[in-house]
Amino acid sequence: MMILLVASLFALLAGPLLVAAAQRREGLLAGIDALIAVAVVALVCIHILPHAVMHAGPLALLVALVGFALPVLFERSFFGSGESRLARAWTLLALIGLGLHAMVDGAALGVGDTLLGSGVVLHRITLSLLIWRLVRPRFGFGAALALVGVVGGATLLGYAAHGAGLHAHLHVDGLALLQAFVGGSIAHIAIGHARPALRRRSAGLSEQ
């Protein structure tokens, strides 16, 4: 549906607008981070993993677990507890990997299912918030804006590929495993990002 495609692209603007509105309110930002973490975990568990398991079998669960655990294993093994360049690079790569998922979503929009398309639009808002809260502080405004553009472009590409029937030629199993890995990684990143903000918020409330 073309109208849902347009809505999904406009939904990518929600991140910058909502974060800008909440910028000077620490409690509101902590709430946004918590919402992002819950929404991303729900997206992975309800949408990405079932789709991956359907196409690639139980191996997809193991791949998702590796994606979730690998960032923290690298951090603890090589860099200690502080955020390193590797952690920041991993964040960026995982989010770029979501561009691949955006292509799948774009193809889903081409199916014409209103309920499925509405779900894509809603989690575009979450993805936009995730990009703006994780990428902009680490890599700057330009990188965050570019990544939003990548996701939008990938959505258009997926929509066009479905219309042309090109999706039938993709290696579905490999694509499903890659999505599972990216899903596990992005769940780890979203939870890890929300935790410090919630701790600060809790500390602030206890002092009042």
- Mean per-residue pLDDT for 15-19? 88
Q: How far apart are CA 164 and CA 82, in angstroms?
A: 47
- Mean confidence (pLDDT) of the chain: 78
More confident residue, 125 or 23: 125
Report the pLDDT value the prediction gives residue 25, as an integer from 0 to 100: 76
Q: What is the pLDDT of residue 105?
A: 80
Beta-carbon count within 10 A of 12 CB: 21
**Lookup: tokens for 70:** 């690998």
Looking at residues 3-23, what average pLDDT do you find?
88
- The reported pLDDT for the residue numbered 71 is 67
Write down the domain spans for the chain.
2-207
3-class secondary structure, 80 = coil
Q: Are 11 and 148 in contact (CB under 8 A)?
A: no
> In this structure, what are the phi and psi dihedrals at residue 34, rounded to the nearest 5 degrees?
-65, -40
Provide the 10 A C-beta neighbour count for residue 25.
11
- pTM for the whole thing? 0.70
Contact 197, 33 (CB under 8 A): yes
Interval 59-110: pLDDT, tens: 999 999 988 887 666 555 544 445 566 667 667 777 777 777 788 788 778 7
Neighbours of 91 (CB within 10 A): 23
Distance of CA 148 to the CA centre of its chain: 11
The mean per-residue pLDDT over the stretch 34-41 comes to 84
| pLDDT tens per residue across span 114-171 | 777 787 888 788 888 888 888 888 888 998 899 899 999 988 988 888 766 655 545 5
**Token match 């975990």: residue?**
41
